[in-house]
Structure 1
Amino acid sequence: MKSDPSASHQPSPAPFSMDGFWLGFRRAVLTTPGILLFGMGFGAAAAVKGLTFLDAFFFQSLVLAGASQYVALELWTDPLTWTTAFAMAAVVFTVNLRMMLLGAALRPWMGGLPGYKSYPALAIMTDPAWIIAIRYHREGGQDWGVYVGACVFLYLTWIISVVPGYYLVDALEDPTRFGVDLVMPIFFITMLVPVWRGRMDAAPWAVAILVALTVKAIVPGYWFVLAGGLSAAFVAAALFKDEEEVDG
C-alpha cells in the first residue's frame, strides 16, 4: 500500500505550554519602550485629528497595525464618510499585505495546528512578535506558546499606550521629536542579527532592499513594502529549491 506523498509535507502539530507562553511574554518585554512611545504617538495624533478617546481606543484595539494606523489617520475626516473609510481601509490593507509573507513563514512550524488555534493567533501577529518567534524557532524551539505570549504582550501594551498618548497630546503631537521613528527599526535590526544564516540570507535581503528602494522612488504609496517582501520571498524560494536539487 502506497503512502500519500503529500502527508510527509504536512507539519506535525507544534506543542503549546504556559512555560512557552511566559517565555515569549518575557522576551517581548524588551520592546516596551518602543511600543509605548509609538502607541502614545498615535494616541496624540488621534487627539489632534479630533477623535474622541473611545474612537482612538477602539481604532488602536481593532486595527492593530502600527505605522499604517498613522497613514490611515492622515485621511481621517470629520464627519467620516464611507469613501474616506474605504480609502483608510485600503491603505491599511496595502501596507499590511506583508503579513501574508510573515504568516507563510510560520507555516513550517505552526501549519499542523487546527484552524481554531492558528487563525486567532495569526490575527494578532505583529512584526516584533514574529521576529521573536522566528528567532526562537531558528534556535530549535518548537513551543508555539512563545509566539502567542509575545503577541499577547505586544497587543496589551499597544492598546494601553493610547491612553497616556491621547491625554499628553501637547508633548507627543510630533513623535519624531523623541526619536520614536527610530526605536522600532533599531529593534528589528537587533533581533534579526541572530537570525542571519550567512550566504543563504544575503541574496534575498539584498534584493528586498534594492526592490523596495526602487519601487518607493517610482510608485506612490506603500507598495514598496509588499514589493520588497515578495521579491525576497521569490529569491529565497529559488535558492532553497536549487540547494534541494543539489543535495538530492
Structure 2
Amino acid sequence: MARAPLPAYRAPMRVTFTSAGIKRGVGRGVPLLLGIIPFGLVVGVISLGKGLSLAETLLMSGLVFAGASQLLALELWTNPPDILAVALAALVVNIRMVPIGAALSFWLDHLRGWRLWGSLFLTVDHSFALSVAENRAGGRDAGFLFGLGVFTWLGWVAAAGAGHAMGTVVALPPDHPLFFAATASFVVILVALWRGPRQDLPPWILAAATALAAQALRLPPPVPLLAGAFAGAALGAWQETRARAA
C-alpha cells in the first residue's frame, strides 16, 4: 500500500532589517504627514501659549514624541509646573504603548541593540498600524518600522517647531478646523488595519462604546481613552486566541 507523500517542510520566513526596508518605511510615511503636520502645529501653538521656548518645545516633542500625551501635559501645565502630575498624566496616556509593543513582537523579537530600542522609541500609533498591515501582507523587513518611525519623528519635531514660530504671528480660534486634523489622522489609519466586519467590528464597537460610557460618567481624561483601548484590545486578543485554537 503506497504511503501518502509527506507535506513539504516550509521553514519560517526570516525577519530582516535592511536599508531597503527603511526606505520603504520612509515612503509609506509621506502620506502620514497630512495628519502629523497639523497635529504638530497645534502642539507648537499651545506650547507657545503656555510659555515654553522654542528649544523647550523641540526638546519635549523629540523626547516624548506622543501627541496625545503632549497635549494633555500642556493642558495641565502651570507656572510653575507640577512636574510629577504632568509626568504621571503622560505615563497614563502612553501606557497603551505596552500592548502596542507586544503586538509588534513579530518583528521586535528578532531585533537587538539599537535596531530594537530605536524602533521601540520611534513607534507611535500610525507606525504601529501600518507595520501591522505590512506584516499581514507578508512583509518581513523590520527596517520598515524603523524607517517609518524616523520619518514621522522628524516630521513631528519640525511641525511642532513651526507651530511655535507660527503662533507668534497667527492666533487660531479654538474651533479652527486645524485642531480636528489629529482626530482625522487617527481615523484614517484604521483603514490599513481593517480585515473585515467579523474580525474587527466587535472590538472597535466595544472600544468606542466603553470610551463613550466612561465619558458619560464624567471620568477624567485620559480614563475614557484608556478604558476603550483596553476593552477593545482584550476582546481582539480573545478573538485571536479562539481563532488559533479552532
- What residue is the counterpart of 1:53 in the other structure? 54
Match of 1:150 among 148, 152, 177: 148
Q: How many residues align?
A: 232
- What residue is the counterpart of 1:5 in the other structure? none
- What residue is the counterpart of 2:221 in the other structure? 221
Is residue 103–residue 122 contact of structure 1 (8 Å, CA) maintained in 2?
yes
Q: Tell me, which stretches of 5 or more residues in structure 2 are unaligned?
A: 1-11
Q: What TM-score, normalized by structure 2, do the two folds share?
A: 0.86
Letter in 2 for 1:118: L
Letter in 1 for 2:140: Q
Is residue 41–residue 175 contact of structure 1 (8 Å, CA) maintained in 2?
no
Matches within 5 A, 1:1-248: 14-80=15-81, 84-114=82-112, 116-169=114-167, 170-174=169-173, 176-177=175-176, 179-198=177-196, 199-218=198-217, 219-246=219-246
Is residue 13–residue 111 contact of structure 1 (8 Å, CA) maintained in 2?
no
What secondary structure does 2:25 align onto? helix
Q: Deviations over 1:59-108 (max 9, x none)?
A: 1111111022111112222233xxx0011111111111111121111013
How far apart are residue 172 of structure 1 and its match?
5.0
Pick the structure with more helix per residue.
1
Q: What TM-score, normalized by structure 1, do the two folds share?
A: 0.85
Is residue 35–residue 158 contact of structure 1 (8 Å, CA) maintained in 2?
yes
Is residue 42–residue 70 contact of structure 1 (8 Å, CA) maintained in 2?
yes
Aligned in 2, Cα 1:135/1:235: closer, same or farther, shift over 3 Å? same
Distance in 2 separating the partners of 1:75 and 1:193: 33
Post-superposition, which runs of at least 4 consecutive aligned residues in structure 1 deviate over 4 A?
A: 172-176
Q: Report sequence identity in percent.
A: 32
Letter in 2 for 1:33: L
Distance in 2 separating the partners of 1:61 and 1:173: 24
- What residue is the counterpart of 1:4 in the other structure? none
Is residue 98–residue 225 contact of structure 1 (8 Å, CA) maintained in 2?
no
Is residue 216–residue 222 contact of structure 1 (8 Å, CA) maintained in 2?
no
How far apart are residue 140 of structure 1 and its match?
1.1
Letter in 1 for 2:238: A
Q: Tell me, which stretches of 5 or more residues in structure 1 are unaligned?
A: 1-10
